[in-house]
């Protein structure tokens, strides 16, 4: 009965909050301008199997033969296409009207995400090129369009999942989905929009919240400089509580003091409104951006994680971010919100956002709802034994970190997942470079460089184990003071030393590490108990009945929390089924499988035993 009740509640919520398949909301809520144009909707398209569209001048097209609903990939049902085979060359086209009021302004075309490589053309003229399937980007159309006129916009997309030199995540490199690899996502998969800004507008802002000194540090970037000032205003419930004005210049941050700051946390996710305004010499506002900020601090100290200087225990769930109708793309804004509510209802306080870069609207809802997340890259599919891996992976990862680092809900970065059988000379260097670059881009969060994989330089140690018997799990995870790192290593153990000196590998048995407790340890993948009453599917450890599930899951969590008190948290696999993988707590369409209160009694318990 309770399962039916929760199903009805969530269904009503979804239907009431938005229409399925419409993505009309502003896609970048932490950097929002009032004047913008949403380009989602019907575009024309052409799948180009051999790539001959370049020779045939598809860039000059005024319309292709097929129609597709953007921002949904051609593999998805919501796109109206549902083409399931590999797509290596893909063309999009639509006409765009440039408002006459945009005269004299910088006209920007923004893409939330295009997988993988894209080229942008306007009226057949090349505008720009972008590499990376998960990073957002903008191109400047100012020299290519005329306000008050209509232009043909063409986007050419290239992707080759089988070449092993582009990050794929869980996208299947076979024709069919299999095990934990799913339907592919090609082309435009997030919102496309245009906006007009003043030539000296704010380009981006990095915000650092310093709760120890009760201040917000604003570090802006500009499109151009000269004769302007920046005004930053912090508001609480519509009332101004701090404001600073300074010269708009490079390396000129503004600091706002915040008296009696309200801290952001899962129990109280308070957000301040933040506004950026560019003033000209006469004091007129020539650019305005609306934002928000959450005052919070996350850090590692000893073997513990701390949120706002208080010990934090993570009760996370693995979230793949796939949807039956639309793969990587959420079918609606409310679907993003709903996934967080589903996890919180089951007792979790956060999630690993696994093998996919989630869209900014998800982080917005996590900020609003008080949901802790680990930002991860879709790192599978790239051959890390190749030196080219650095030049492919690192720039895109840096763009992702810079885009999302202002979100208070993100508490750590996880660029890699389960990378183990890799070159023992090149990969340690790459791993260290990746750690250093991530810390350089964001000094405010810990980095788990390689979740469940070979640890070289990292702030956090983690392991993945799917033994579903609690006693066997305990024996596998712990052996005479040695802790299982996640996977067996075949390389010479002498090269497997953490450069941060937080642990060392046992030279006699390369399967174990000797953990000295000087850094946090996360058991960030376990469970995966298969349960499906509707169809045969794949999962860990064979299928379980509903009562067997409660017993297994409950005993596993108890072993982790009671027998390993030094562990800083866990992550259960997983929130929902995904295609053939049937080990979610909810079905793929988000209907509940289990009694929600019984799930909460398992996953909603703190180490102290209090239920939150």
Specify whether 188 is located in the same domain as 211: no
Establish if 280 belongs to a structural domain: yes
Alpha-carbon distance of 429 to 326, in angstroms, equals 37
Q: Are strands 540-543 and 150-158 parallel, antiparallel or unpaired?
A: unpaired
**What angle (nearest 5°) sits at the alpha carbon of residue 88, between those of residues 84 and 89?**
110
pLDDT band at residue 20 under the 50/70/90 scheme: low
Work out the average pLDDT over 566-571. 93
Q: What tens digit of pLDDT does each residue of 386-395 get?
A: 888 888 999 9
Q: CA nearest 228: which of 256, 253, 201?
A: 201
Q: Is residue 488 over pLDDT 50? A: no
Q: Domains in the chain: how many in total?
A: 3
Could you tell me if 525 and 571 are in contact, meaning their C-beta atoms sit under 8 angstroms apart?
yes
Q: What average pLDDT is seen over the chain?
A: 90
Residue in this structure with the two tokens 């309200």, named with its chain if needed: 262
**What angle (nearest 5°) sits at the alpha carbon of residue 333, between those of residues 327 and 336?**
60
Specify whether 91 is located in the same domain as 233: no
* pLDDT at position 611: 41
Specify whether 36 is located in the same domain as 167: yes
Establish if 207 belongs to a structural domain: yes
Establish if 392 belongs to a structural domain: yes
Could you tell me if 571 and 318 are in contact, meaning their C-beta atoms sit under 8 angstroms apart?
yes
Specify whether 51 is located in the same domain as 98: yes
Alpha-carbon distance of 294 to 271, in angstroms, equals 5
Alpha-carbon distance of 582 to 543, in angstroms, equals 9
Main-chain dihedrals φ then ψ at residue 571, nearest 5 degrees? -140, 120
Q: Is 423 exposed, middle or buried (0-12, 13-18, 19+ CB in 10 A)?
A: middle
pLDDT band at residue 565 under the 50/70/90 scheme: confident
Strands (E), 322-362: 350-353
Give alpha helix (H) positions in 189-332.
Answer: none
pLDDT band at residue 507 under the 50/70/90 scheme: very low
Grouping H, G, I as helix, E, B as strand and the rest as coil, residue 80 is coil
Establish if 317 belongs to a structural domain: no
Q: Which residues pair with 307 in a beta bridge?
A: 298, 310
Calculate the CA dihedral of residues 525, 526, 530, 532 and round it to 10 degrees.
Answer: -60
Main-chain dihedrals φ then ψ at residue 188, nearest 5 degrees? -70, 125
Q: Please, which contacts does 443-447 make with residues 24 or more away whose CB atoms are closer than 8 Å?
A: 444/208, 444/297, 444/298, 444/405, 445/298, 445/405, 445/410, 445/411, 445/412, 445/413, 446/298, 446/299, 446/300, 446/305, 446/411, 446/412, 446/413, 446/520, 447/412, 447/413, 447/414, 447/415
Specify whether 206 is located in the same domain as 193: no
Specify whether 189 is located in the same domain as 221: no
Work out the average pLDDT over 569-575. 97
- CATH code for position 75: 2.60.120.260
pLDDT band at residue 421 under the 50/70/90 scheme: low
* pLDDT at position 564: 87
- CATH code for position 245: 2.60.40.10
Residue in this structure with the two tokens 């097929």, named with its chain if needed: 66
Alpha-carbon distance of 108 to 556, in angstroms, equals 51
Specify whether 95 is located in the same domain as 170: yes
Work out the average pLDDT over 421-434. 78
Strands (E), 405-531: 410-414, 416-417, 450-451, 461-464, 478-479, 482-483, 503-505, 513-515, 521-527, 529-530
Domain C-terminal end among 293, 312, 343: 293
* pLDDT at position 516: 67
* pLDDT at position 328: 98
Q: Is the peptide bond before 574 cis (omega within 30 degrees of 0)?
A: yes
Alpha-carbon distance of 269 to 296, in angstroms, equals 10
pLDDT band at residue 18 under the 50/70/90 scheme: very low
DSSP H or E stretch at residue 8: helix 2-17
Bigger pLDDT: 491 vs 26: 26
Could you tell me if 486 and 503 are in contact, meaning their C-beta atoms sit under 8 angstroms apart?
no
Could you tell me if 193 and 36 are in contact, meaning their C-beta atoms sit under 8 angstroms apart?
yes
Specify whether 153 is located in the same domain as 268: no
Domain C-terminal end among 172, 197, 222: 197
Could you tell me if 99 and 147 are in contact, meaning their C-beta atoms sit under 8 angstroms apart?
yes
Residue in this structure with the two tokens 């200087």, named with its chain if needed: 309
Work out the average pLDDT over 399-428. 89
Establish if 235 belongs to a structural domain: yes
Q: CA nearest 220: which of 251, 255, 247, 257?
A: 251
Domain C-terminal end among 267, 293, 319: 293
Establish if 141 belongs to a structural domain: yes
pLDDT band at residue 481 under the 50/70/90 scheme: low
Establish if 351 belongs to a structural domain: no
Domain range spanning residue 408?
Answer: 377-459+481-519
Q: What tens digit of pLDDT does each residue of 233-263 get?
A: 999 999 999 999 999 999 999 999 999 999 9
Specify whether 269 is located in the same domain as 408: no
Specify whether 36 is located in the same domain as 54: yes
Using alpha carbons, list the distances in angstroms from residue 408 to 38, 266, 300, 344, 436: 27, 10, 16, 17, 21
- Number of other residues whose CB lies within 10 A of the CB of residue 391: 11
Q: Is residue 363 over pLDDT 60? A: yes
* pLDDT at position 16: 37
Establish if 389 belongs to a structural domain: yes
Specify whether 192 is located in the same domain as 252: no
Specify whether 136 is located in the same domain as 179: yes
Q: What tens digit of pLDDT does each residue of 180-239 get?
A: 999 999 999 999 999 999 999 999 999 999 999 999 999 999 999 999 999 999 999 999
Q: Is residue 417 over pLDDT 60? A: yes
């Amino acid at each position: 009965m309770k399962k039916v009740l929760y199903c009805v509640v969530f269904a009503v919520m979804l239907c009431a909050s938005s229409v399925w398949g419409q993505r009309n909301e502003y896609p970048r809520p932490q950097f929002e301008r009032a004047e913008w144009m949403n380009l989602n909707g019907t575009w024309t398209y052409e799948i180009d199997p051999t790539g001959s569209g370049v020779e045939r001048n598809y860039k000059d097209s005024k319309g292709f033969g097929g129609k597709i609903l953007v921002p949904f990939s051609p593999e998805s049902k919501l796109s109206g296409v549902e083409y399931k085979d590999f797509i290596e060359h893909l063309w999009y086209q639509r006409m765009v009207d440039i408002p006459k009021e945009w005269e004299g302004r910088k006209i920007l075309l923004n893409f939330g995400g295009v997988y993988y490589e894209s080229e942008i053309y306007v009226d057949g003229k090349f505008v720009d090129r972008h590499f990376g399937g998960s990073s957002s980007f903008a191109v400047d159309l100012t020299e290519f369009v005329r306000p008050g006129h209509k232009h043909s916009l063409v986007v050419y997309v290239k992707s080759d999942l089988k070449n092993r030199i582009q990050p794929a995540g869980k996208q299947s490199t076979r024709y069919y989905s299999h095990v934990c690899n799913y339907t592919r996502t090609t082309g435009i998969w997030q919102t496309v929009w245009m906006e007009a800004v003043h030539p000296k507008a704010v380009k981006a802002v990095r915000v650092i919240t310093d709760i120890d000194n009760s201040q917000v540090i604003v570090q802006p970037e500009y499109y151009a400089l000269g004769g302007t000032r920046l005004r930053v205003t912090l508001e609480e419930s519509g009332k101004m509580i701090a404001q600073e004005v300074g010269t708009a210049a490079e390396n000129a941050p503004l600091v706002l003091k915040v008296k009696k700051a309200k801290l952001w946390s899962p129990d109280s996710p308070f957000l301040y409104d933040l506004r950026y305004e560019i003033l000209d010499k006469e004091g007129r506002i020539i650019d305005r951006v609306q934002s928000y900020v959450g005052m919070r601090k996350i850090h590692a100290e000893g073997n513990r994680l701390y949120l706002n200087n208080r010990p934090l225990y993570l009760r996370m769930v693995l979230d793949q971010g796939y949807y039956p109708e639309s793969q990587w793309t959420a079918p609606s804004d409310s679907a993003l919100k709903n996934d967080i509510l589903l996890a919180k209802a089951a007792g979790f306080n956060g999630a690993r956002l696994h093998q996919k870069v989630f869209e900014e609207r998800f982080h917005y809802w996590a900020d609003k709802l008080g949901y802790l997340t680990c930002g991860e890259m879709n790192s599978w599919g790239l051959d890390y034994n190749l030196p080219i891996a650095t030049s492919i992976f690192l720039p895109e990862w840096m763009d992702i970190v810079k885009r999302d680092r202002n979100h208070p809900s993100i508490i750590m970065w996880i660029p890699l997942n389960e990378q183990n059988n890799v070159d023992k000379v090149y990969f340690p260097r790459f791993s260290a470079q990746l750690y250093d670059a991530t810390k350089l881009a964001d000094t405010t969060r810990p980095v788990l460089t390689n979740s469940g994989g070979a640890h070289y330089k990292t702030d956090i140690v983690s392991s993945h184990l799917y033994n579903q018997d609690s006693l066997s799990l305990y024996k596998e995870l712990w052996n005479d003071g040695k802790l299982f790192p996640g996977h067996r290593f075949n390389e010479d153990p002498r090269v497997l030393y953490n450069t941060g000196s937080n642990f060392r590998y046992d030279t006699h048995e390369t399967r174990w590490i000797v953990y000295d407790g000087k850094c946090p340890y996360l058991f960030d993948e376990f469970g995966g108990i298969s349960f499906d009453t509707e169809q045969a599917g794949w999962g860990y450890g064979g299928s379980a009945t509903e009562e067997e599930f409660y017993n297994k899951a409950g005993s596993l969590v108890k072993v982790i929390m009671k027998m390993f008190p030094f562990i800083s948290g866990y992550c259960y696999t997983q929130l929902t089924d995904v295609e053939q993988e049937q080990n979610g707590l909810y079905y793929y369409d988000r209907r509940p499988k289990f009694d929600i209160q019984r799930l909460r009694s398992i996953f909603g318990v703190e180490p102290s035993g209090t239920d939150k």
